[in-house]
């Protein structure tokens, strides 16, 4: 059974059902889709929607967060530079943790353990980014980029 918070959130979605309407030249109310409304507000969205191109397969824009909803970005191809940056950050964290947590071992060995973990983290990160990117390409080529999309 859903929690009280989940039930309230679901009820809220039913309470706020409304459509956007605009008066045309003859005075009739014409319903406007959300994409058209956003295109009027943001010229970048207008250019993207009117270009007729494929655009992003998810139908969502870059890394903006809208209304508390999670916006999923398309994964980028793997690069060694990105993997090395992540490795440096992870290396600093593992060196600090190994110094703090491994009390029975000498300091140079603790630092060496952190460096080894950082060095192993770089190719693993590159490999995982490649897997994610290949999976994204496979899904986007098949047409069902977000078949299991949540609402």
9-34 mean pLDDT:
74
Domain boundaries, the chain: 80-142
What one-character-per-residue DSSP string does 41-107 give? H-HHHHHHHHS-S---TTS--SS--BTTB--PPPPPPP-HHHHHHHHHHHHHHHHHHHHHH-TTS-H
pLDDT at site 38:
66
pLDDT at site 12:
77
DSSP type of residue 22: E
- Rounded Cα distance between 2 and 98, Å, is 42
32-59: pLDDT as tens digits: 776 666 676 666 544 554 554 444 444 4
């Amino acid at each position: 059974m859903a929690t009280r918070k989940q039930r309230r959130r679901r009820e809220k979605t039913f309470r706020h059902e409304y459509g956007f309407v605009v008066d045309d030249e003859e005075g009739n109310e014409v319903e406007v889709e959300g994409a058209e409304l956003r295109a009027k507000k943001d010229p970048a969205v207008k250019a993207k929607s009117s270009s007729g191109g494929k655009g992003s397969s998810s139908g969502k824009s870059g890394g903006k967060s809208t209304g508390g909803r999670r916006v999923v970005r398309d994964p980028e191809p793997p690069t060694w530079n990105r993997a090395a940056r992540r490795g440096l950050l992870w290396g600093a964290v593992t060196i600090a943790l190994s110094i703090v947590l491994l009390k029975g071992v000498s300091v140079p060995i603790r630092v060496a353990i952190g460096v080894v973990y950082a060095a192993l983290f770089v190719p693993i990160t590159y490999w995982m980014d490649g897997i994610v990117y290949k999976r994204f390409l496979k899904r986007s080529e098949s047409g069902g980029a977000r078949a299991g999309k949540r609402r």
